[in-house]
A and B are shown apart, each in its own frame.
Chain A
């Protein structure tokens, strides 16, 4: 593997509990908890999980749109929290984000031209003529023409808006883009167009993507590596081919067996229960209360992530060295 572009070390983000919930006595919501991983240059890294798993928060903490509670994010070896204001602004040219909802990601009061040119304004690049010309270039690159410059977001379809959002993200020629559910709100045929566009841009600009999605079909199609999040923690991480074909964590297994494919319609394998942490216990495995294989140790010791393949790691006590016999239990089930 090549050099890491992003390194995340022991990242935490806690939010104060907004409302008192009689079932949840925790003072904080641990949106991101003990997260460590790194992203290699040029890869498409998928971050999957159900709503409430903290995947969007993690993406925004990496871009420093939300400040972490503790832990570090490094960009090409430099700690981004220690950036000065000037360094931070310069860094923002290198990293971008595309959001899910194409209806909220463009300012409704501004023309498309204004929106696409804005990054150039912010970084004081070029004069008026250059900026306009560059904006038209980028529009063409995302499959739209110059006639869009004077139009407004409400005149465009969801797919066109998402193309604009991508245009504003690539106009500064960044190295790294977070795509936060960037194709989830789109229809199948439009989704395919956008996915192809993202692939094309990746080849051209040698982009690195952090691709956040709940759609496992899309992630498995699009990404080389996948990390699975559950209640703020990465519980499994690996290459798509390895993790997709033989998921190890009981949650990942359940998640992947919940994928509805058009190829086969056999018995639905179900994962019981909902994603809700009712227990107070931060020492326990986050999944233990939903896990069919939960053992005593799962309630008292949080599992460390350990290697189960070349690039494949899982955080589950079933794979503790002492528990080798548990592997056979898993196979039976």
Chain B
């Protein structure tokens, strides 16, 4: 495998609430390789958006990266000053958000917003910029690009707005795109259209992507590799088929079984008892999932399990698989 585009190592992020420190992300470690789509999946509050914000240096004011390494190719992202960040954001790494309407400036035409990235990062002439902008608009499937160039965001539908957001993210040809729930706010048919566009980008442009979603259907249709997050931890990682066909962590298993569809008609859905603990209620130094886990045993309440390689790229953070506690236990798949 070639060198990774992005590496994150042992990253911890904390929130300061009422002069108390709460750890929101713990020991986040992963890499993104060229031409790879890495999915981050989890329920709300598990820290998937926070991870992307930490990478891009856009954490909320009361959150800080406490420790860990973040590297984009050879650039240490934690050392970057604001001035250097401006060169990297958009040009090398760009971000796509959930709500297209809030990501776009309502007072600036679509064309201007898309070409903004060229203005900042290149020295093209005006005509060249316009030409490239219109080409990009056509690439992301915006019809009548020349007319829409002068349109304002509110004149477009939600799906079209999201295409504009994607064009903005792609215009400076970044090699890493971070997309945070980019299809969640859209209707099903539009979601499928946008997902098809992401697939096209993946195959044609060979860019790497981090694709954040709570929707396994979306993850299934775009990602190569998946990180499953729970309560600020990456609890399982592996290729798409490893995770979907052979999930190891009890949380991943339960989550996949909880998804309703027509094949499960008449059958009671599998559920996880309890709820995701809020930031303030999280227990430290024990397995974060122990309270809700049906396989809980003594080791789970003693320490946080280490992430343990199961085979190849597949790894899980669960005592059932750690050498110290779990391997001698008789654990069969449920």
A255-B188, A258-B188, A260-B191 known; A189-B261 Cβ under 8 A: no
- CB-nearest residue of chain B to A21: B155
Q: Which of chain A's residues have a CB closer than 8 A to the CB of B333?
A: none
Q: Which of chain B's residues have a CB closer than 8 A to the CB of A215?
A: 188
B159 touches A274 (CB 8 A): yes
* B264 nearest CB across to chain A (Å): 6
CB proximity to B under 8 Å, residues A269-313: 269-272, 274-276
Task: Kindly state the separation between the CA atoms of A275 and B262 in the bound complex, as whole angstroms.
Answer: 26
A51-B187, A217-B259, A222-B260 known; A265-B221 Cβ under 8 A: yes
* B235 nearest CB across to chain A (Å): 14
Contact mask for chain A residues 14-42; partner B; CB cutoff 8 A; 1 contact, 0 none? 00000000000000000000000000000
Task: Kindly state the separation between the CA atoms of A240 and B256 in the bound complex, as whole angstroms.
Answer: 23
Question: Does B101 belong to the interface (CB within 8 Å)?
Answer: no
A50 touches B187 (CB 8 A): yes
- Tell me which of A51, A218, A258, A271 contacts B260 (CB under 8 A): A218
Contact mask for chain A residues 232-269; partner B; CB cutoff 8 A; 1 contact, 0 none? 00000000100010000000001101111111010011
A220 touches B44 (CB 8 A): no
B264 touches A214 (CB 8 A): no
CB proximity to B under 8 Å, residues A195-230: 195-196, 199, 214-218, 220-222
Task: Kindly state the separation between the CA atoms of A255 and B218 in the bound complex, as whole angstroms.
Answer: 15
- Tell me which of B192, B259, B265, B271 contacts A262 (CB under 8 A): B259
B189 touches A255 (CB 8 A): yes
Q: Which of chain A's residues have a CB closer than 8 A to the CB of B187?
A: 50-51, 214, 275
Q: Which of chain A's residues have a CB closer than 8 A to the CB of B278?
A: 157
Question: Does A10 belong to the interface (CB within 8 Å)?
Answer: no
- Tell me which of B214, B254, B262, B270 contacts A244 (CB under 8 A): B262
Task: Kindly state the separation between the CA atoms of A265 and B188 in the bound complex, as whole angstroms.
Answer: 16
Task: Kindly state the separation between the CA atoms of A205 and B259 in the bound complex, as whole angstroms.
Answer: 26
A274 touches B217 (CB 8 A): no
CB proximity to B under 8 Å, residues A44-98: 50-51
Q: Which of chain A's residues have a CB closer than 8 A to the CB of B260?
A: 191-192, 195, 217-218, 220-222
Question: Does B124 belong to the interface (CB within 8 Å)?
Answer: no
Question: Does A188 belong to the interface (CB within 8 Å)?
Answer: yes
Question: Does A190 belong to the interface (CB within 8 Å)?
Answer: yes
A262-B259, A274-B190 known; A221-B43 Cβ under 8 A: no
Question: Does A174 belong to the interface (CB within 8 Å)?
Answer: no
Question: Does A4 belong to the interface (CB within 8 Å)?
Answer: no
**Number of A positions contacting B (CB below 8 A):** 43
Question: Does B307 belong to the interface (CB within 8 Å)?
Answer: no
Task: Kindly state the separation between the CA atoms of A250 and B269 in the bound complex, as whole angstroms.
Answer: 31
Question: Does B64 belong to the interface (CB within 8 Å)?
Answer: no
Q: Which of chain A's residues have a CB closer than 8 A to the CB of B270?
A: 192
* B250 nearest CB across to chain A (Å): 12
Question: Does B258 belong to the interface (CB within 8 Å)?
Answer: yes
Task: Kindly state the separation between the CA atoms of A217 and B269 in the bound complex, as whole angstroms.
Answer: 13
Q: Which of chain B's residues have a CB closer than 8 A to the CB of A258?
A: 188-189, 191-192
- Tell me which of B44, B191, B214, B217 contacts A217 (CB under 8 A): B217
B157 touches A217 (CB 8 A): no
CB proximity to A under 8 Å, residues B258-286: 258-265, 268-272, 275-276, 278
Question: Does A173 belong to the interface (CB within 8 Å)?
Answer: no
Task: Kindly state the separation between the CA atoms of A196 and B260 in the bound complex, as whole angstroms.
Answer: 10
- CB-nearest residue of chain B to A224: B265
Question: Does A187 belong to the interface (CB within 8 Å)?
Answer: yes
- Tell me which of A192, A214, A220 contacts B258 (CB under 8 A): A192
Q: Which of chain B's residues have a CB closer than 8 A to the CB of A272?
A: 193
Task: Kindly state the separation between the CA atoms of A270 and B195 in the bound complex, as whole angstroms.
Answer: 10
A220-B261, A254-B189, A258-B189 known; A199-B196 Cβ under 8 A: no
A221-B265, A244-B262, A262-B217 known; A189-B272 Cβ under 8 A: yes
- CB-nearest residue of chain B to A274: B157
Q: Which of chain B's residues have a CB closer than 8 A to the CB of A159?
A: 275
A50-B187, A260-B221, A265-B221 known; A276-B216 Cβ under 8 A: no
A260 touches B268 (CB 8 A): no
A193 touches B271 (CB 8 A): yes
A191 touches B221 (CB 8 A): no
Residues of B within 8 A of A (CB): 43-44, 157, 159-160, 187-193, 195-196, 199, 214-218, 220-221, 244, 254-256, 258-265, 268-272, 275-276, 278
Identify 22 residue pairs between A and B in the complex whose beta-carbon atoms are under 8 Å apart, listed by A's number: A50-B188, A157-B275, A157-B278, A187-B214, A187-B276, A188-B214, A189-B258, A189-B271, A190-B43, A191-B258, A195-B269, A196-B271, A215-B188, A244-B262, A255-B188, A258-B189, A260-B192, A260-B215, A260-B218, A270-B189, A270-B192, A274-B159
Cβ-closest 5 pairs across A and B: A260-B217, A221-B260, A220-B262, A50-B187, A258-B192
10 further A-B contacts with Cβ under 8 Å, apart from A260-B217, A274-B160, are A51-B187, A160-B275, A187-B276, A189-B255, A193-B271, A214-B188, A221-B269, A259-B188, A271-B189, A271-B192
